[in-house]
Amino acid sequence: MKKLLSTLLAAFCALPLLAQSNIVFTDENGTEIADGTIVTANKPVTDDFGEMLIPSGIYVKNQSAEDAGVRINYTVKTLDNGTMQICFPMSCVSKSTTGSFNTDNGLMSANEKRDLQTEWLPQAYGNCTVTYQIEMMKQTSVFPPKYESQGMGATITVNYIYADPAAINGVTDNKHAAASAYYDAAGARQAQPRHGLNIVRKADGKVVKQWIH
C-alpha cells in the first residue's frame, strides 16, 4: 500500500498543475477574465498601415506587488485564412498554420497591465479560434536571461469571426432593405418597377428578382 501511495504521489506531482497565480487575463478596463472563458472577437479595425485586423481586446495583468516572469502558451485550433499574430511580452510572431506555440519569456512590473496584442488578420470571411494559457516563470539569470516554469495559470479561448454583415443581420434585413435601382429583364435601368419581371438592386448590394402582376 505504501508503495502504491508513493507511486500515485509521484504521478500527481508530475502533472502540470494550475498554480495560484497573480498573473491574470483582463479586459481593457482591468476586469479579470475567469479561467475557461470563451471570448468572441468580431469587430474589425484598420491599423496605422491600412491593414484590416480583428483584435482580441485581451490584456495580461500582474496583480502582485513585485515583478513577475511570464510567457503565454497558445494553440491555434482553426485558421480559415490569413494570419494570427501575437506581440507579447515584446516580440511579435505571426502564424499562418494551426498548432501549439509559446511566446518568449519576459518580466512584468508590479501591478502592470499589458496588452496581449494578439489579433487575427483575415484575408476573407471565416473564423480563427485560439486558446491562450498563462505560464508563470521565474527569472534565474539576467545575462544570459534564463527562466524556470513556476506553473500554469488561467486559460481562455478567443473565437475570432469575420463575417458578411448582411449575413449576420439575416434574411429579414435583406428582404426589407431599401431598393436603390430597378432594371427590366433586358438589363435596362428603370425609374420605378413595372409590371412583369423586375431586377432590383438593394441598398445593401444584394440583387433580387421581383415579379409584379
What pLDDT digit, counting tens, does each position of 117-152 carry?
999 999 999 999 999 999 999 999 999 989 999 999
The pTM of the whole model exceeds 0.85 = no
Q: What is the pLDDT of residues 175-188, one digit of tens each?
A: 445 556 777 777 77
Distance of alpha carbon 104 from the chain centroid: 19
Which domains, from first to last, does the chain contain?
Answer: 16-163 (2.60.40), 167-212 (no CATH)
